[in-house]
């Protein structure tokens, strides 16, 4: 009976997540294309360059706590208010520090480019409000993603309306840098209201719980920073080694090939609670559910990549215009990155349940260093396509190859390969 309930709840949860993301994708497709065409490759590249700063420091802002929150809520239901309150306090401090570091970095590196400084500084505002995504994990643990789906959709509509106003008024690129901040502000207010409406406990800070959270999440901080390095170093290096336009082409390719990845995120987020619950009761079922998740993520990604390889050039020209045609080449390479990237995301459930977090740093440190080296070699030769190839090679190494050489997490790599081979999945 319990398993049947979890199964039904998981399906409904995934359904709501996917529905919300489809709606967001349609809005994003329309507004994003108009924005990219209006800004042009250079300014569009500048927006993404500033966004790379924010995304890079987001790994430090979260302190790795997001990776353990769902399990905390499941294991300690009586401490929900203290868990959320403590997380908010910890992340508020880290977000303020991150925003300050970003501004300092851009003042030093881009001292002769006032527009770049302004766009980047405005983009950091979103960091200060991103802390409220903590409530999202509370709703995930309750299998009530319907709530967060509606909240995210409302916020996205507000942000899209803001961008449309900017397009109509023909505002400068600095105004567009504020869009992500507006999105986070809307989500923050709505999530807090919904938390109170759905009977959330009073928030409070606990030093003991803060220490417990940090002790569990500390192993995720360095890996997350390393993921940020090999996830965003390419944009930094493209901008400084070539031009903002190359960042624009590369960002266009990434945007197109990840536009549908909400499906993978929804599947992974919805399956997490059932995987973690089975870990306590049935180890065989736990491993089977991991294999099933890996197989699902991999084959959905491969199917999408084949489509992008065939129709990538046509899609770029149709959606973005002839000015963005150079994005077609990196698109055909970076699309294969998706399968291995989301296998890495799916792996976190096994890592948390087996308490193997400490090994992630070895994987991602090697991957980050390898990515920087590959970018130095590939970008001068092939530009944005070289950056795409460096990212793909790095992700394969981090997700499949390197873990096979680490004894204590080799079992997860075996499960991943078994899932890909459809062994023990049915």
Which of 87, 71, 76, 194 is CA-nearest to residue 130?
A: 87
| Domain-located, residue 425 | no
What is the tally of structural domains in the chain? 1
Give me the average pLDDT of each 10-residue run along the chain (426 residues). 50 60 72 85 86 81 76 79 87 88 88 87 86 81 74 84 89 86 86 84 85 79 73 84 87 87 81 81 86 93 95 90 91 93 89 83 84 92 92 90 90 90 82
> Range of 323's domain?
2-420
| Domain-located, residue 153 | yes
What is the model's pLDDT at position 301?
94
pTM for this entry? 0.70
| Domain-located, residue 22 | yes
| Domain-located, residue 426 | no
What is the model's pLDDT at position 6?
45
| Domain-located, residue 257 | yes
């Amino acid at each position: 009976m319990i398993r049947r309930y979890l199964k039904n709840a998981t399906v409904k949860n995934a359904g709501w997540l996917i529905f919300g993301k489809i709606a967001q994708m349609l809005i994003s497709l329309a507004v994003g294309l108009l924005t990219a065409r209006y800004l042009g490759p250079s300014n569009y590249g500048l927006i993404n360059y500033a966004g790379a700063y924010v995304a890079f420091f987001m790994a430090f802002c979260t302190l790795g706590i997001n990776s353990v929150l769902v399990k905390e809520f499941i294991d300690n239901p009586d401490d929900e208010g203290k868990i959320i309150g403590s997380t908010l306090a910890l992340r508020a401090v880290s977000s303020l520090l991150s925003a300050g570091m970003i501004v300092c970095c851009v003042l030093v590196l881009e001292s002769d480019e006032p527009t770049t400084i302004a766009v980047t500084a405005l983009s950091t505002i979103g960091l200060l409000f991103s802390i409220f995504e903590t409530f999202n994990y509370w709703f995930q643990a309750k299998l009530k993603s319907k709530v967060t789906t509606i909240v995210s959709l409302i916020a996205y509509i507000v942000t899209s309306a803001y961008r449309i106003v900017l397009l109509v008024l023909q505002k400068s690129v600095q105004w567009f840098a504020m869009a992500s901040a507006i999105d986070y502000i809307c989500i923050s207010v709505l999530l807090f209201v919904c938390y109170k409406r759905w009977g959330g406990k009073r928030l409070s800070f606990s030093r003991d719980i803060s220490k417990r959270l940090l002790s569990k999440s500390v192993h995720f901080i360095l890996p997350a920073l390393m993921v940020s390095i090999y996830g965003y170093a390419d944009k930094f290096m493209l901008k400084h080694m070539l031009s903002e336009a190359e960042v624009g082409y590369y960002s266009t390719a990434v945007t197109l090939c990840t536009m549908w990845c909400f499906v993978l995120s929804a599947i992974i987020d919805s399956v997490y609670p059932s995987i973690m619950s089975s870990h306590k009761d049935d180890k065989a079922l736990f491993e089977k559910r991991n294999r099933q998740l890996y197989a699902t993520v991999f084959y959905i990604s491969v199917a999408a990549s084949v489509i992008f390889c065939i129709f990538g050039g046509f899609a770029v020209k149709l959606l973005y215009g002839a000015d963005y045609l150079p994005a077609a080449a990196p698109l055909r390479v970076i699309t294969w990155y998706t399968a291995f990237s989301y296998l890495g995301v799916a792996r976190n459930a096994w890592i948390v349940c087996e308490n193997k977090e400490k090994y992630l740093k070895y994987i991602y440190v090697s991957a980050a260093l390898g990515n920087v080296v590959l970018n130095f070699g590939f970008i001068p030769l092939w530009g944005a396509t070289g950056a795409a190839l460096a990212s793909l090679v790095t992700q394969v190494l981090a997700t499949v190859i390197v873990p096979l050489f680490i004894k204590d997490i080799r079992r997860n790599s075996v499960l991943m390969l078994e899932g890909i081979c459809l062994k023990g999945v049915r």
